[in-house]
Amino acid sequence: MQVSAVTAGHWVERWECQQQRYAVDREERFTVIADVVERIALDRPAPLVLDLGSGPGALAARLADRLPGAEVLAVDADPLLLELGRAHYGDRVRYVRALIGAPGWLAELELDRPVDAVVSATALHYLSESALRGVYRELAGRLRPGGVLVNGDHIGPDSAFLRELALDIGRRHAERNLSFTHEDWQSWWSGAAADPELAPFLSRDTDSAHPPCEGNDLSVSAHVALLREAGFRHVGTVWQYGNSRVLTAFR
């Protein structure tokens, strides 16, 4: 069974709108992430790019458009989001179901060569600190020399005072741009659950698709320390607005 392109387009559009509530200047952040990947991968004949916690694949599709010769994998644990992406974005992206950080999760991707770039947007903060440490190490082992990890997420300053200030700046920006007028996460999922065409994908292995969120609230220096420990070099911020940050780490 497949979701129709019309239905997928409707729910992907709603997904993109609700995500704007949770990521400050989301489109600009996507653009920055794509700029970084394009810079390091454009001269490669067939770059391999992973988008971790991809949802329906908005960022993955943008990267595929930027790099027409690339193989882009959208990796997520949720079967509904993956199906919506397949139906909406088509074969520009390869969709893979895997739970990031679970034992053997990288094997599920069936990678046949070193990875050029790994990206993630508003996803890795769901992992505990210990799980994130393991994921950073695993990714460092799969990236080619010169490859890059680009993480766009809620990553605050080290100072508690500056962290609160960054949050306030982000809230003010969201209010000016009417971001909070979009539906929220719960509203989107409640609406999806009421659509009979989506029912088969909502009923599959729901527990494994949505594991308990351990979460982390690591500061930027804590992320940098974990990345350097994993073997990355040239680690640092290339874009920030409030507590929304794009952190890059080169192998």
Q: Residue 22: what pLDDT?
A: 84
Instruction: Give all strands of the β-sheet with 94-97 in edge-to-edge order.
Output: 94-97, 71-76, 48-52, 115-121, 143-154, 244-250, 233-241
Mean of the per-residue pLDDT values of the chain: 92
Q: Residue 174: what pLDDT?
A: 82
Query: Distance (Å, rounded) from C-alpha 119 to C-alpha 95?
Result: 15
Query: Distance (Å, rounded) from C-alpha 182 to C-alpha 250?
Result: 35
Is a pLDDT exceeding 90 seen at residue 250? yes
End-to-end CA distance of the chain: 41
pTM: 0.92
DSSP alpha helices (H): ranges in 90-195? 129-142, 160-176, 185-193
Mean pLDDT of 64-91: 96
Task: Tell me the pLDDT tens digit for each residue of 171-202.
Answer: 898 888 777 888 999 999 999 999 999 999 98
Is a pLDDT exceeding 90 seen at residue 137? yes
Contacts of 164 (CB under 8 A, 6+ apart): none
Query: Distance (Å, rounded) from C-alpha 10 to C-alpha 4?
Result: 10
Q: Residue 57: what pLDDT?
A: 97
Q: Residue 99: what pLDDT?
A: 96
**Residue listed under structure tokens 């599959």:** 204
| Cβ atoms 137, 228 nearer than 8 A | no
Strands 94-97 and 71-76 turn out to be parallel
Domain locations in the chain as residue ranges: 5-250
User: Could you tell me how far CA 137 lies from the centroid of its own chain?
Assistant: 18
Protein fold of 5-250: Rossmann fold (3.40.50)
Mean pLDDT of 64-76: 96
What is the share, in percent, of the chain residues with pLDDT greater than 90? 81
Task: Tell me the pLDDT tens digit for each residue of 5-58.
Answer: 999 999 999 999 999 888 888 999 999 999 999 999 988 999 999 999 999 999
